[in-house]
Each structure stands twice: as C-alpha cells, then as structure tokens.
Amino acid sequence: MYLNFKKMKTKQPALLIACILISCNIFSQNIAINSTGALPDTSAMLDVTSTVKGFLAPRMTTAQQNAIPLPATGLMVFNTSTNTMNVNFGTFASPSWVALASGNQTYATGTSGTDFNITSTGSAYTFNLPDAGAAARGVISTGTQTIAGAKTLTGATTVSGTLTASSTLTLSSVAGGASTDSILTLNSGGVVRKRTVADVISSSNQTAVIVAASRTNSYTPGSSYATLVYNNASVNVGTAYNTSTGIFTAPATGLYEIIISNMYTVANSLNNTLNARIVVNSVIESEVAGSLTPYAGSTIGGSIRANTIVQMTSGQTAYVTVGNLNNTMTPAVGTGQTTLKIIRLK
C-alpha cells in the first residue's frame, strides 16, 4: 500500500519534519491514524485515536442521501434533514436507510389495522395497538368487542353485565352447596335466574295443593259422559286448571293426586245410579259409581267420591266426566258439595 504526497521542495525542511512527527503507520492490512505512533488494532482496517477530536461523517440532506448511486450495505452518512446518523441496512439495489438511535426520539401510539406493529419516521416511533376483535389481534378495550379463538381465564373473573353463551356453557367444577345458597333456574329463553331454595321447593318439589275448585252452577247429568266443569277455583297455581273447560294441564313433570267428591240428592223410590271418571291424558285412570235408593216419600243424599295418584309429564291433561245415568240424580252445588282437589306430591 502507498500514500501519495504532493511533491515538496527540499528547501522546505520544516514542513518535512512536521510530516515525519505526525505518525502515520501504513501496513498492507490496516491503518492507524494517531499522534502517539501506536500500531493499529489488528481487528480494524482503520484505527483512529484522539482525545481532542472526533470522527466526522459525510453530511447531506435526505435528497442527497437517497441520490447516492448504488449505496453499499452498511454505508453511513449524517442526515442533516433529520439530524440523525443513517445506515443503509438494505442493498445497493434496494437501499433501506435507518436512523441510529439518538437522544431525541419521540413515541406515539396508534389503533389502526388488525395487528400489533411499530413504525418509524426518522426519530419518531409509532406503536400501533389496534382494538382486539374476531379478525384482529389487539387490546381489550372498554367498548363492545367480539373476540375469536379459545380463551382460558385463570383466577377470579367478574362479569358486571349480561353473560351470554351462544354455544354450550360448561362448568368443569363447582363448589359444594350450603343451606344458605340460592338456586339458578333456566327459562325457555335461556335466561339464568337466581331463586331461593324455599321458592323452588314450594313450587316444584314440596307436597302442595295446586288446585282447589268447586261446582257452584247447577247441571244435569245424562246417560252420555260429559266433562264436569268445576267453575269456581279458590286455589289455582299458575292457572293450571281451566274453569271454563274443566281441563287441568300439568305445569311440570311430577306425581299428582286427583280427588273428587260430588254430592247428589234423590226423592224417589227407584234405584238411581251415576258414574264418574277421572281421565288422564285421554285415558280413563279411575271410575266409580254412585247409587241412591230412598224409601217411598223420602229424600236422601249421597256422594260419589274418587281419587287417583298418577305420574304426569309437563303438558299432559286431566279432567272429570260424569255419565251412565240411571233414573235421576240431582247434583248439589252448594259450598263444599261438588269439589275437585289436585295435589302435587313431588
């Protein structure tokens, strides 16, 4: 390797001596520039040492930087438009000038797009944090969001609004119960409600009279069977008994007891008979016959009583019919004389 100096006259010995005093060590592998005569570090092609001066890179505007023909990868310049030291991290065919970190960076946040990313312009950096959604990775915000993908939440989770499960809601484990606990019920619309234990037991599982009705209007039985309508209900939980049609509809699946007591009077000496039936879901569940034969000139009364215990599913029906009359049976329709009771056993 050679250093080319301008031709100097031998009559200028002072300048020659000054050049000699400045140590410029030249080797075939690397070069040292210093004022001490130290050899260059073996790992450096150019080793510049000074305690009073620095290295000054080429200075140019952004337009001048971008106009450098075929810039080598790693080429460094000082950009006077952005006041940053820029390095080409691209190739000569596709340059990519990146500013080295400086002490005056600025940072901002954005919410656009569907993914996290960081962009930079000179010393300004933008951290993009979009809202999370079914098709976007992002941040959970206070607004309405639809999040896709399976999620696992550990630890205590509090939902202050309505929790809606469009698919199957599965609880892998639940805590043991206590006597003071409430019970959750699920209606036909999928709404979960909290109810007291006493409320659920009294309406569903505890023995209770759910229908207590009587016939207060006169009627005339005949030979054909006809539905006996108990038109006045003092107890009718959930209006399960229709006082216009005489049809009872089971409000829930369970065990029911149906009890009838129909009072009649007779004022002749004939053999008077009448049958009563309890029909459940269009099938005769129980049938009884009543007979009254008074002495001539006397009037007697009697009742036809029947009861049955039957398992009914929600929506099944039950009703009472009377018929097969022989001679005359006059119904008594005073208080407590023609009655129907239906009891939910469990």
HEC letters along the chain: CCCCCCCCCCCCHHHHHHHHHCCEEECCCCEEECCCCCCCCCCCCEEECCCCCCCCCCEECHHHHHCCCCCCCCCEEEECCCCEEEEECCCCCCCCEEECCCCCCEEEEECCCCCCEEEEECCEEEEECCECECCECCECCCCCCCCCCCCCCCCCCCCCCCCCCCCCCCCCCCCCCCCCCCEEEECCCCCEEEECHHHHHHHHHCCEEEEEEECCCCCCCCCCCEECCCCEEEEEHHHCECCCCCCEECCCCEEEEEEEEEEEEECCCCCEEEEEEEEECCEEEEEEEEEECCCCCCCEEEEEEEEEEEEECCCCEEEEEEEEEECCCEECCCCCCEEEEEEECC
Q: What is the pLDDT at residue 297?
A: 80
Is there a single domain that holds both residue 213 and residue 313?
A: yes
Q: Could you read off the pLDDT of 298-341 as tens digits, one per residue?
A: 889 899 999 999 999 999 999 999 999 999 999 999 889 999 99
Q: Which residue has the tokens 């699946």?
A: 253
Instruction: Give the residue, 228 or 103, on which the prediction is more confident.
Output: 228
What percentage of the chain exceeds 70 in pLDDT? Answer: 87
Q: What is the pLDDT at residue 8?
A: 43
Question: How many CA atoms are closer than 13 Å to the CA of 222, on its beta-carbon side?
Answer: 4
Band of residue 103 on the pLDDT scale cut at 50, 70, 90: low
Cβ pair 179, 173 in contact under 8 A: no
Is there a single domain that holds both residue 40 and residue 120?
A: no
Mean pLDDT of 264-280: 93
Q: Which of 108, 128, 148 is the last residue of a domain?
A: 128
Is there a single domain that holds both residue 69 and residue 50?
A: no
Q: What is the pLDDT at residue 206?
A: 65
Is there a single domain that holds both residue 94 and residue 223?
A: no
Q: What is the pLDDT at residue 3?
A: 38
Q: What is the domain-level CATH number for residue 237?
A: 2.60.120.40
Q: Which residue has the tokens 């016939």?
A: 215
Number of domains in the chain: 3
Q: What is the pLDDT at residue 13?
A: 54
Is there a single domain that holds both residue 34 and residue 116?
A: no
pLDDT at 74 over 70: yes
Is there a single domain that holds both residue 212 and residue 315?
A: yes
Would you say residue 193 lies in a domain? Answer: no
Range of the domain at 317: 207-344
Would you say residue 285 lies in a domain? Answer: yes
Is there a single domain that holds both residue 33 and residue 83?
A: no
Q: What is the pLDDT at residue 154?
A: 86
Q: What is the pLDDT at residue 21?
A: 43
Is there a single domain that holds both residue 212 and residue 98?
A: no
Is there a single domain that holds both residue 89 and residue 50?
A: no
Instruction: Give the residue, 269 or 97, on which the prediction is more confident.
Output: 97
Is there a single domain that holds both residue 215 and residue 96?
A: no
Mean pLDDT of 266-277: 93
Q: What is the pLDDT at residue 192?
A: 82
Would you say residue 145 lies in a domain? Answer: no
Would you say residue 230 lies in a domain? Answer: yes
Instruction: Give the residue, 27 or 343, on which the prediction is more confident.
Output: 343
Would you say residue 240 lies in a domain? Answer: yes
Structure tokens belonging to residue 172: 């892998």
Is there a single domain that holds both residue 325 and residue 292?
A: yes
Would you say residue 180 lies in a domain? Answer: no
What percentage of the chain exceeds 90 in pLDDT? Answer: 53
Would you say residue 228 lies in a domain? Answer: yes
Band of residue 24 on the pLDDT scale cut at 50, 70, 90: very low
CA distance readout (Å), 151 to 114, 140, 201? 19, 13, 37
Is there a single domain that holds both residue 31 and residue 69?
A: no
Range of lowest pLDDT (49-53, 116-120, 202-206, 257-261): 202-206
Q: Which of 55, 73, 96 is the last residue of a domain?
A: 55
Would you say residue 170 lies in a domain? Answer: no
